[in-house]
């Protein structure tokens, strides 16, 4: 079956951080430009963690190893790995693997990264491998801009640049992208009417084209994904913006 690798930056809303994580800045760190897109999330709080759920068969976490970094722990699907050290001689090593696991069962997985102690731990980006469809077939990627008729915007008066609307997508997976930043706000995501999940585009700094939602192995046929802004009615500064969506399908699914 077709397989591919997906990479998301540290600011992607689908990475869920506990409290006490902050965005690295060039004002505080002269090596910020060593990170992917000059961006990273960092904590020095014992027990601070991040959680990421994905459908796939391999996962990799990337960050830096530096003199002010200490131990961290990784938990994958309930299994706790021995602690690892993030320490390295000055100036450190950047965009290096903090953890990787391959040959996983193709399915849903959850990984948790936890700081162990009061030294720094940072995260730069995450990548994972996944599959689409069944059997020996070709992967097809379809990109839909925000003004494509596949998007429904409701109520239309609450969205600017509202396009025509219809509502469905056909494919085995979908990724939706948009900006994050200080003006971002909370939103919920619901796929095919199932239980919704709450995320947020509120981040310390503006970053365009971040992955706002991802789902895979939905099965052949039509699907509907719904993103709902949960911004306070008293706040006009909390924004949910959509840039584009990528639908993953195969030649066999296209023929059904």
- 126 forms bridges with which residues in the sheet? 8, 61
Per-residue pLDDT of 83-113, as tens digits, reads: 999 999 999 999 999 999 999 999 999 999 9
Q: State residue 166's pLDDT score.
A: 37
Has residue 222 got a pLDDT over 80? yes
Q: Name residues whose C-beta falls within 8 Å of residue 5's C-beta, 6 or more positions apart in sequence.
A: 127, 128, 129
Q: State residue 256's pLDDT score.
A: 56
Q: State residue 160's pLDDT score.
A: 67
Token code pair at residue 235:
């706040």
Check: CB of residue 138 under 8 Å from CB of residue 249: no
- The pLDDT-based confidence of 255 (bands split at 50, 70, 90) is low
- The pLDDT-based confidence of 155 (bands split at 50, 70, 90) is confident
d(CA 233, CA 156): 16
Per-residue pLDDT of 2-34, as tens digits, reads: 789 999 999 999 999 999 999 999 999 999 999
What's the mean pLDDT in 202-216?
95
Check: CB of residue 97 under 8 Å from CB of residue 26: no
Has residue 164 got a pLDDT over 60? no
Phi, psi for 40 (deg, rounded to 5): -160, 160
Cis status, amide bond into 256, omega within 30 of 0: no
Q: State residue 167's pLDDT score.
A: 46
Listed residue (15, 147, 91) closest to 7, CA to CA:
15
Token code pair at residue 236:
């006009």
């Amino acid at each position: 079956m077709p397989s591919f690798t997906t990479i998301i930056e540290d600011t992607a809303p689908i990475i869920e951080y506990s409290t006490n994580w902050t965005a690295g800045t060039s004002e505080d760190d002269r090596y910020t430009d060593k990170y992917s897109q000059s961006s990273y999330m960092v904590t020095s709080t014992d027990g601070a963690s991040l959680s990421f759920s994905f459908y796939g068969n391999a996962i990799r976490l990337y960050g830096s190893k530096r003199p002010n970094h200490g131990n961290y722990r990784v938990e994958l699907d309930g299994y706790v790995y021995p602690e690892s050290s993030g320490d390295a001689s000055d100036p450190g090593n950047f965009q290096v693997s903090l953890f990787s696991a391959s040959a996983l069962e193709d399915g849903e997985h959850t990984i948790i990264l936890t700081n162990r102690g009061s030294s720094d731990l940072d995260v730069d980006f995450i990548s994972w491998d996944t599959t689409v469809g069944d059997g020996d077939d070709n992967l097809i990627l379809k990109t839909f801009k925000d003004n494509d008729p596949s998007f429904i915007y409701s109520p239309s008066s609450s969205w600017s640049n509202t396009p025509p609307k219809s509502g469905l997508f056909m494919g085995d997976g979908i990724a939706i992208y948009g900006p994050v930043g200080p003006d971002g706000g909370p939103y919920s995501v619901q796929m095919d009417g199932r239980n919704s999940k709450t995320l947020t585009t509120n981040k310390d700094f503006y970053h365009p084209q971040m992955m706002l939602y991802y789902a895979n192995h939905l099965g052949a046929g039509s699907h509907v994904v719904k993103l709902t802004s949960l911004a306070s009615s008293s706040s006009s500064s909390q924004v949910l913006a959509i840039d584009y969506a990528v639908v993953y399908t195969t030649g066999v699914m296209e023929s059904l």
